[in-house]
Homo-oligomer: A and B are copies of this chain.
């Protein structure tokens, strides 16, 4: 890692890339609505705009980046197809994008990935190969599998086209807020590897420059928070599993980190209990199914980590792929 080199990296992805991604995604990704819950706004003492990427194809924003990346492959590359490693949402995004673009996909997933994510990935016609989270090096496995078949490895976040694709979430938020006459004071979204929030940062900085941007990480997986404090990419100390299977990335990306560093005011952390409470609130009041990692921004607000009095916040609910068994346990306050 070279901090100097990293500082020069933001130019690797620009707002123009995000806008190009939006053109490529038109008619493929859904424009998810920007919705409001007066009950939530009343509870928090401010106005909250909710971007439910739970309603996106594959149930998470990941389809955006995956489709943007895959649509740029050459004819020869399409024939050999793609390989991705992912705990689930990126897997589904790549699998569906590959199917839509007529190319084979192999997904390397942890053996303990949520069943709903494994089943959905297979339903999109992708081949699934499992690895052992404790023993195997998933990157090496993916690289080896890709070499075997001459396929392209599609990273989950550290890729300019992936970042640009996820950034279309921010383009939509800014445009939809403007259409309702709202002016966003702050925006919160989840951070795993940082693909979503780096892309969204580029879009918000261009279209809604007054908004303060916050990332949210699960406690124990606050590698981005630590990295921002240190001024360079850092991992978090080994932690037990988080409820947020989608956000257990070990370290921010080489491309995503400098963008996050340039745009995020802070990274908040939330506990599993706060995440579970947010999932229950989403069920009972918002009537939305949100997976643990998708609920961290809502969790941060419900836990009172920021004062919203008189302010307008946008939050991204990034995914809704949660096993029924886990969801039922969360509803029963068993977590």
User: In the complex, A284 Cα to B30 Cα: how many Å?
Assistant: 18
A133 to B280, CA, bound (A): 30
Which residues does chain B contribute within 8 Å of A139, judged by CB atoms? none
A328 engages B320 (CB within 8 Å): no
The answer to the question of A239 belonging to the interface, with a C-beta cut-off of 8 Å to chain B, is no
Number of identical monomers bound together in the oligomeric complex: 2
Check if A286 is an interface residue, CB within 8 A of chain B. Answer: yes
CB of A62 within 8 Å of the partner chain: no
Q: Chain A contact residues (Cβ within 8 angstroms of B): what range?
A: 20 to 34
Task: Output the least CB separation between A295 and chain B (Å).
Answer: 12
Q: Which residue of B lies closest to A332 (CB)?
A: B328
Grouping DSSP codes into helix (H, G, I), strand (E, B) and loop, the A interface class, with mixed when no group exceeds half, is helix
Q: Are B36 and A33 in contact (CB under 8 A)?
A: no
Is A224 on the interface with B (CB-CB < 8 A)?
Answer: no
Cβ of A61 under 8 Å from chain B: no
**Does A5 interact with chain B (Cβ within 8 Å)?**
no
Within 8 A of B (CB), among A297-335: 320, 324-325, 327-328, 331-332
User: Hey, which chain B residues are within 8 Å of A283, CB to CB?
Assistant: 289, 324, 327
Beta-carbon contacts of A30-45 to B below 8 Å, as 1s and 0s? 1011011111000000
A57 at the interface (CB under 8 A from B): yes
Indicate whether A277 reaches chain B with its CB closer than 8 angstroms: no
- Tell me whether A35 and B38 are in contact in the complex, defined as CB-CB below 8 angstroms, given that A283-B289, A287-B54, A324-B331 are known contacts: no
Q: Say whether, besides A30-B36, A33-B33, A35-B33, A284 and B116 are in contact (CB < 8 Å).
A: yes
Q: List 8 A-B contacts (CB under 8 A).
A: A32-B35, A33-B33, A55-B287, A55-B288, A283-B327, A287-B288, A288-B289, A325-B332
Binding site for B on A (CB under 8 A): 30, 32-33, 35-39, 52, 54-55, 57, 59, 116, 280, 283-290, 320, 324-325, 327-328, 331-332
Other contacts beyond A38-B57, A283-B289: 8, CB < 8 A:
A33-B35, A35-B55, A54-B287, A59-B285, A59-B287, A287-B288, A324-B332, A328-B331
